[in-house]
């Protein structure tokens, strides 16, 4: 289940990562949460599996953490760190919803919990 979440996450992140790390080389713009992984990246473009391994290692070592509900490590749109995201809980007797919103780009996701 964790692998699936990370796989999906990586699918979305892979092109962004490669752009950031290997074409633009603008490490200043890399978000804080990604720096522990960045340090471990090989000089050549890594394969998807290598990225997956680096990512899992970083998770194992507690260098990055996934949002417990959404499985993201950062805002999916602008890559703002999880700490910046705003959570709102609402619902009624039957259902509880958690809405997570990024104050930087307006990204928002609502999930049913419990
Ligand atoms: Zn955002």
Per-residue pLDDT in tens (0 to 9) along the chain, 114 residues:
555 655 656 665 665 665 555 555 555 566 777 777 777 877 787 787 888 888 888 888 888 888 887 888 889 899 888 889 999 988 888 888 989 999 999 999 998 886
* Lookup result for tokens 């290598």: 50
Q: What is the CATH number of the domain that holds 100?
A: 2.20.25
* 109 in a structural domain: yes
Please name which of 2, 109, 108 lies closest in space to residue 55, comparing C-alpha atoms: 2
Hey, is 55 helix, strand or coil? helix
Asked if residues 31 and 80 have their Cβ atoms less than 8 Å apart, the reply is yes
**Residue 87 sits in which domain range?**
74-114
Give the tokens for residue 86: 């705003």
pTM: predicted TM-score of the whole model, two decimal places: 0.60
- The number of domains in the chain is 1
**C-alpha of residue 58 to centroid of ligand 1, in Å:** 22
In a domain, 51, yes or no: no
**Structural domain contains residue 80:** yes
Q: Does residue 5 lie within any of the structural domains?
A: no
Within-domain flag for 7? no
What is the C-alpha separation between 110 and 100, in angstroms, rounded? 6
Residues around ligand 1, an ion, CB closer than 5 A? 75, 77-78, 80, 102, 104-105, 107
């Amino acid at each position: 289940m964790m692998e699936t979440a990370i796989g999906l996450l990586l699918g979305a992140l892979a092109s962004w990562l490669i752009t950031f790390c290997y074409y633009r080389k603008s490490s200043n713009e890399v978000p804080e949460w990604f720096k522990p992984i960045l340090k471990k990246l090989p000089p050549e473009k890594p394969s998807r599996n290598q990225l997956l391994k680096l990512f899992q290692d970083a998770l194992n070592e507690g260098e990055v953490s996934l949002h417990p509900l959404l499985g993201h490590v950062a805002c999916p749109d602008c890559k703002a760190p999880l700490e910046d995201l705003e959570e709102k809980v609402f619902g009624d007797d039957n259902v509880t919803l958690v809405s997570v919103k990024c104050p930087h780009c307006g990204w928002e996701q609502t999930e049913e919990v419990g």
